[in-house]
Structure 1
Amino acid sequence: MLVIVAVTTRTIARVSAPSRPLRIAAVPLMLAAGGLLSVQSEINGRLAGAIGAGSRAGVTAATISFGSGLVILALITAALPRQRRALAALVAAVRARRLRVVELAGGLSGAFLVATQGITVGTIGVALFSVALTAGQSASSLAVDHAGLGPSGRQAFSVPRAIAAVFAVSAVLLAASERLVDDFSWQVAVFATLPLVAGVGLAVQQAINGRVAAQVGAWTTALNNFAWGTAALVLVLGAMAVARGLPGPLPSNPWLYAGGAVGVVYIWLTALLVRVHGVLVLGLCLIAGQVITAQLIELVAGETHMGPLGIAAGLLVVAGVGVALAVRRPPATEETSVRG
């Protein structure tokens, strides 16, 4: 399996017009990338819970996740001449104004997302977190395309995206209503809005990451994201430590520190796979993989926060993905309009 993934991703990086077999092979990778985001949410949520409670524990977990991811990326970049040249190309692109500094700031959205994982997952569960996140991501993608933030510039209104957004927003309302009826509290209500906002930022992050990846490649784009996100989280955690002190001691379970490595693979895959199917299909497959994996995680863990309505909400998101894919524009038109 690992050999197949390596060959597929290497081929994607080398071609500008993917063949039909390559497009088919990329679909399970896109679904897997979405699943990785749910896995990271579960890991970071558990890490935050093991550290303590509240926003300090969440930000501490996010800082550890981003910081460890940055270390992994930096070490590999230093060891590979090709990636060192790509990093130099990033600096040159900024100096030549082919990239603006604001286009490098996608990692700030990622930092907010990871901090939100640590703060909210322990309270609302990974499934509701994922449904809320995908609702924000789907709805905001319409505005992101209209504003022209992606690498292909401004895009006209897309009926498939609108369908996916309607399904996703309906799903989060359905899932949230069940949880609020069963266990109403303002904390759950407020916490459910945080991943919704994070989803808005995730759509922006994917768009500007596409601009950076078009200049310097997916790997350097991931390194840039982790550098910005780590810097922001260290500043926030430092301010919290000065005001309220540090949270409790760090846990000894090594698996709780795997969130950074998972995040590295997620960012790299999404920046790479957007070349194959474009932003639309990538986003839809990420949503499907994320929601399905989140439901499976809670089912296996035996700690589900969702009942029948929550499961229906997850199925509604997946149904929206299927409908949007079924009625999307012909491949030639889609590639012309969304390719980064």
Structure 2
Amino acid sequence: MSSSTITQTPVRDAGQSRTAWILFLVMSLVAGAAIPSQGRINSALAAETADPFLAALISFAVGLVLMLVIVAATPRGRATMRRVRPALAAGEVRWWYLLAGCLGGYLVLTQSLTIGMIGVAVFTVAVVTGQTLGGMLWDRVGLGPGGRKRLSPLRVIGAILTVLAVLWTVSPQLGADHGGPEWLLLVILPLLAGVGSSAQQALNGRQSAAYGSPIPGTLINFIAGTAVLLVAYLIKLGVGGVGEALPTAGWYYLGGPMGCVFIGLGAVLVTRVGVLLAAMGMIAGQLIGSLLLDLIIPAPGSVVTTATVLGTLLTLVAVVVASLPDGRASRRRGAGH
């Protein structure tokens, strides 16, 4: 499938069926919900091992093993992996696309390093703001597989609504005991991680379009991310030594599979709707997933209020607004006929 074909058939176009739009929304919510689930698991693993670097490394390493099994055990996995070399040789995939997983590793590491000092609420606002700004930037410069996308007023309004909705959702958890250059630096780190996360999805979308499957790109993501986190962990070992023993309960190691869901579905979504809309849909999934976790398995310090619920619903409104057909583009197409 060529990039021109992808550009002409995004899910948000008026000619697309309602079923296709619902499928996009469901995939976005599932992909986004995997992130708070992964964060909750990795946070518990970090607490058990007293080592956030090791927890992040284990998460990526388990995801890497799972992807290796999928590739080795399925005919489709083996077939699509054989498309990587020809895609690189033809220039459909640049070598630096293969480093997208490093951005995911940075996001996981930033989560482990900063949440304890700035809190989950501030971290969420910073990452979501970065994802939204990054989504607009990468769509505008054409980093995603669909090429450059014009920032229609509805998309900009939807992006602004998304950031406001996240602020509203986490407002009960935002404290006033912040400030100083050190705190600001800690906020900038996850903000940059959010920008990088949207770039990761854009590059994964390009790979998915070139290979005809998200499997090779997802595997390559975990290879790159694991390598980066391994280096970070070895540096940490030299400075701080070994943490506690690994826990034996199996659920501590499910963070990697959650990452596979996020990366794989995200790569598919970007090829269909662009970086910004995919990011916004997954942001809605993150908030809904967090809300469900806080209701079903509340963590210490979690707060669910009216603002939490209404802010989460507002993110869905923002996604609907941003996915509405561009009236000016539709009129131009009509005039062309």
Q: Which region of structure 1 is more displaced relative to structure 2, 304-313 or 33-42?
A: 304-313
Q: Which residue among 247, 268, 289 is the counterpart of 1:272?
A: 268
> 1:315 Cα shift?
4.8
Residue type at the aligned position of 2:326: R
Give the match for residue 200 of structure 1: 195
Residue type at the aligned position of 2:322: A
SS of residue in 1 equivalent to 2:71: helix
> 1:31 Cα shift?
1.2
Give the match for residue 4 of structure 2: none
**Alignment deviations for residues 74-125 of structure 1 (CA, whole Å, 9 cap, x no partner):** 1221122332232221122223333211112110111111222333445555
Q: Distance in 2 between matches of 1:50 and 1:177?
A: 29
Contact 1:70 1:230 survives alignment (8 Å): yes
Structure 2 vs 1, CA of residues 276 and 113 (structure 1 numbering), >3 Å: closer, same or farther? same
> 1:308 Cα shift?
5.0
Contact 1:65 1:260 survives alignment (8 Å): yes
- How does 1:172-191 map onto structure 2 within 5 Å? 179-184=173-178, 191=186
- How does 1:157-236 map onto structure 2 within 5 Å? 157-171=151-165, 179-184=173-178, 191-216=186-211, 217-236=213-232
Structure 2 vs 1, CA of residues 291 and 245 (structure 1 numbering), >3 Å: closer, same or farther? same
Structure 2: state its 5+ residue gaps: 1-8
SS of residue in 1 equivalent to 2:82: helix
Contact 1:131 1:171 survives alignment (8 Å): no
Q: Which region of structure 1 is more displaced relative to structure 2, 204-213 or 281-290?
A: 281-290
Q: Percent identity?
A: 36
Give the match for residue 142 of structure 1: 136
Contact 1:31 1:290 survives alignment (8 Å): yes
Q: Which residue among 308, 323, 326 is the counterpart of 1:329?
A: 326
> 1:294 Cα shift?
1.1
**Alignment deviations for residues 199-250 of structure 1 (CA, whole Å, 9 cap, x no partner):** 1111101111111111112111111111111111111111221232222222
Contact 1:132 1:172 survives alignment (8 Å): no
Structure 2 vs 1, CA of residues 248 and 156 (structure 1 numbering), >3 Å: closer, same or farther? same
Q: Which region of structure 1 is more displaced relative to structure 2, 252-261 or 155-164?
A: 155-164
Q: Which region of structure 1 is more displaced relative to structure 2, 150-159 or 125-134?
A: 125-134
Structure 2 vs 1, CA of residues 295 and 194 (structure 1 numbering), >3 Å: closer, same or farther? farther
Residue type at the aligned position of 1:208: L
Structure 2 vs 1, CA of residues 252 and 175 (structure 1 numbering), >3 Å: closer, same or farther? same
Q: Distance in 2 between matches of 1:245 and 1:38?
A: 29
SS of residue in 2 equivalent to 1:105: helix
Q: Name the Cα RMSD after superposition.
A: 3.1
Structure 1: state its 5+ residue gaps: 1-15
Q: Distance in 2 between matches of 1:193 and 1:318?
A: 26
Contact 1:135 1:169 survives alignment (8 Å): yes
With structure 2 as the length reference, what TM-score do the two structures score? 0.81
Q: Distance in 2 between matches of 1:259 and 1:143?
A: 29
SS of residue in 2 equivalent to 1:165: helix
Give the match for residue 31 of structure 1: 29
Residue type at the aligned position of 1:329: D
- How does 1:9-20 map onto structure 2 within 5 Å? 20=17
Structure 2 vs 1, CA of residues 310 and 49 (structure 1 numbering), >3 Å: closer, same or farther? farther
**Alignment deviations for residues 138-181 of structure 1 (CA, whole Å, 9 cap, x no partner):** 11211112222111222222323322332333455566776453
Give the match for residue 297 of structure 2: 301
Residue type at the aligned position of 1:24: I
**Alignment deviations for residues 21-76 of structure 1 (CA, whole Å, 9 cap, x no partner):** 34433422221111111211111122112221xxxx22211110111100111122
Contact 1:127 1:298 survives alignment (8 Å): no
Q: Distance in 2 between matches of 1:118 and 1:319?
A: 31
Residue type at the aligned position of 1:46: A
> 1:289 Cα shift?
1.2
Does 1:156 find its partner at 2:150? Answer: yes
Does 1:257 find its partner at 2:258? Answer: no
Q: Which region of structure 1 is more displaced relative to structure 2, 229-238 or 312-321?
A: 312-321
